[in-house]
Structure 1
Amino acid sequence: MSMIVRVAARGDGVTDDGRHAAFAAPGDTLTETGGVVPGPHHQTPPCRHFPECGGCQLQHLDDETWGGFIIDRVASALDAHGIATTIRAPALSLPRTRRRATLHADGKGGRVALGFTEEKSHAIVDMRECHILAPELFALVAPLRSLLARLGLRRRADVQLTMTDRGADVLIAGFSPDGLAAAEAITAFAGTHGLARLSVDDGLGPETRWEPEPTTVTLGGVPVPFPPGGFLQATPEGEAALVAAVLEAVGTPAATADLFAGLGTFALALPGRVYAAEGARDAIGSLKAAANANQRLIFGEHRDLYRRPLIPAELDRFDAVVLDPPRAGARDQMEALTVTRAPVIAYVSCNPSSFARDAQILVEGGWRLDWIQPVGQFRWSTHVELAARFSR
């Protein structure tokens, strides 16, 4: 018999002698035959679809252990690059608070399956309950299943759901039904369920089929036009935790560079003047429109920071730099950040591994990693986010 002492990066429990066991929690006992005897931190998974559904990997962990897993993920990534710092207690989002998700649909024999895919598989788990989606989004799952069947879905499609200021925004990608009957069905569905917008995308870009009023999301107290398929932090609590950490990190700068700015999650919350760079044209267009309409001191630029990162002379104009790159990180921007005269950097990341790689470049260039605030937005998932402060 061996004791489970930690949870590995992919969610397996690991014993003190290095054995792995699926769906085991620290404090569980692993028998010689591979059975798991639950311990004090092993909870009963609340969802009937666990563990088949790939939306969750850690429903068997209590919150204390899930938080410890998040800290361990960050610490392990830093340790691989020889970095140590203060890692704060993680901010954990509660069940049923996820306001953004992409589900998968498949129509066969007049029936439609709709849900997340199985772990490490393309097979769809036909969702009948969900403990992570906001109730407003989960309430659309069964009606959407019926709508897609009525519209004649006979192949794979993706359905992106996002809660906005005016209700749910639905984008159906990979399927574009035509004809009067389809238009009437979509209009009736959207009106009945109070959607903010319904769009379809057959591969040539989103086409809006229903939007009675402009769809917006409020960021930093400012309503921002929300493009179909746009990016939003997964939960309101997760967004608030990341914004609070960034504001704590930068203080009260007179001028800040916000790199990979998106729709303006951080730019619209920052004091002073803000330069916002973003490679997605629709996102930066929305941010500029919102900033101009609300007379915010934000200069937005459509700029691919992988092809054209800011150079030191540009960065030296700012009192602080904020960056929130995609999962690949911001390696191409690190060289200039290493030598900039800006005194503080707030780095937001959704990948501890690429963050640690970039952090090593900064630390070796003379920066100090002051602290990290982990965030668990993706409930019961191995996905980890964080915000960090670097200073000279």
Structure 2
Amino acid sequence: MSLIVRVAARGDGVAEDGRHVPFAAPGDTLTDAGELVPGPHHQQPPCRHFPECGGCQLQHLDDEAYAAFVQDRVTSALDAQGLTAPVRPALLSPPNTRRRATLHFDKGLLGFAAEKSHAIVDMRECHILAPELLALVAPLRSLLQRLRPKRRADVHLTLTDQGPEVLVTGFAPGGLAAHEAITAFAQTHGVARFALDDGMGPETRWEPEPVTVTFAGTPVPFPPHGFLQATQEGEAALVAAVREAVGPARAVADLFAGLGTFALTLPAKVYAAEGARDAALALKSAANARQRPVFVEHRDLYRRPLTATELDRFDAVVLDPPRAGAREQAAALAACKVGAIAYVSCNPSSLARDAKTLTDGGWRIDWVQPVGQFRWSTHVELAARFSR
């Protein structure tokens, strides 16, 4: 007999004797014959598609075990770099709150890809999507079956201020019949925008009013398939962590600023750098329209990171890089003299790597806040505060 003591980064349970066991929860028991006996943290998965669907890997964990997994992912990543820090309890988004997702359509099927496969699980229920997005799945399946794309297509869904946005990539049907079908679908189901992209860039087929997302009361023009935190709860947790980390700073640099998730919520003068032109222009337009003290620069921070001299003009720095992290920018941050750094990450490993660079430069990690907004997945978000 061997007790399952933790869940590894890819979702397998790990027994006391080191064996990895799929779909095992802490507290389960693995018999000598290899049979798994459920323990107190092993719940009945709520979705009929689990574990075939790749949208979730951890529906068999109760909330206590899932929160412990999210926290452990952060602790383990720091430990791999020889770092320690106060890691706070994980903040979890509830079920049915995901406001963005990418589904796949092929041969009449629409849904997430199967775990470790390109096969599509034809979605008939989902316990992570927001109800407004889930309600579109069946009618979208019917629409795409009617339009008959000749190859696999991706369907990007995002919940905006005006309702759901739909962007289909991989094909762009022409002709009056297709146009009328898309228009009828959008009108019937309250779609804010319907766009298609066959590889030449998004082409909007339906948008009765400009689509926006709002941060701290400021509506921002939303580019097709723009970036938005996965849940409102996750966004609120990260914004609160950033505001706490920055404190009373009067001048802040927001690096990898996106559409302004953090820049527009800070009570300070903000310099916002963003490498995606559409996002930078949208943030600039929104800030100007509301006369917010946000100066936006379209700048590739991988090719042209801010120097230590440039950074020293600010009281604090916020950065939220892609999964690859901010290796180039971290080197300059390590040498700068700002009062605090708020680092938001969707990858504990790249955060830990950059944290090592910062600590080697004389910084310390004051705290780390894990956030589990990709419910029941192995994907973990976090925010950390660094100070001298």
User: What TM-score comes out, normalization by structure 2 length?
Assistant: 0.99
Q: What is the deviation of 1:222?
A: 0.5
Match of 1:346 among 321, 342, 362: 342
Match of 2:114 among 92, 112, 118: 118
Distance 2:331 2:78 in 1: 19
SS in structure 1 of the partner of residue 208 of structure 2: coil
Match of 1:335 among 317, 331, 335: 331
Match of 1:284 among 245, 259, 280: 280
Distance 1:381 1:202 in 2: 30
Q: What is the deviation of 1:33?
A: 2.3
Q: What is the deviation of 1:339?
A: 1.1
Distance 1:67 1:140 in 2: 30
Distance 2:224 2:17 in 1: 50
Match of 2:248 among 236, 249, 252: 252
Distance 1:366 1:15 in 2: 38
Contact 1:258 1:277 (C-alpha < 8 Å) held by counterparts: yes
Q: Tell me the equivalent position of 2:166.
A: 170
Report whether the alignment pairs 1:317 with 2:313. yes
Q: Tell me the equivalent position of 1:79.
A: 79
Q: What is the deviation of 1:284?
A: 0.6
Q: Tell me the equivalent position of 1:37.
A: 37
| % identity of equivalent residues | 75
SS in structure 1 of the partner of residue 265 of structure 2: coil
SS in structure 2 of the partner of residue 238 of structure 1: helix
Q: What is the deviation of 1:289?
A: 0.4
SS in structure 2 of the partner of residue 181 of structure 1: helix
Q: What is the deviation of 1:153?
A: 2.0
Aligned runs of 1:211-250 on 2, under 5 Å? 211-250=207-246
Distance 1:132 1:330 in 2: 30
Deviations 1:336-375 (A, max 9, x none): 1011111100000000000000001101100010000000
SS in structure 2 of the partner of residue 268 of structure 1: helix
SS in structure 1 of the partner of residue 273 of structure 2: strand
RMSD, aligned CA: 0.6
SS in structure 1 of the partner of residue 103 of structure 2: strand
Contact 1:327 1:354 (C-alpha < 8 Å) held by counterparts: yes
Distance 1:40 1:269 in 2: 41
Deviations 1:191-232 (A, max 9, x none): 000110000000011000000000000012110000001010
Q: What is the deviation of 1:272?
A: 1.6
Q: Tell me the equivalent position of 1:273.
A: 269
SS in structure 2 of the partner of residue 240 of structure 1: helix
Distance 1:338 1:8 in 2: 31
Distance 1:196 1:291 in 2: 23
Match of 1:372 among 368, 380, 388: 368
- 4+ residue runs over 2 A deviation: none
Q: Tell me the equivalent position of 1:10.
A: 10
Q: Tell me the equivalent position of 1:134.
A: 130
Contact 1:21 1:34 (C-alpha < 8 Å) held by counterparts: no
Q: Tell me the equivalent position of 2:150.
A: 154
Q: What is the deviation of 1:154?
A: 2.9
Contact 1:253 1:272 (C-alpha < 8 Å) held by counterparts: yes
Deviations 1:240-281 (A, max 9, x none): 000000000001211100000000000000112100000100
User: What TM-score comes out, normalization by structure 1 length?
Assistant: 0.98
Q: Tell me the equivalent position of 2:95.
A: 95
Q: Tell me the equivalent position of 2:104.
A: 104
How many aligned residue pairs are there? 388
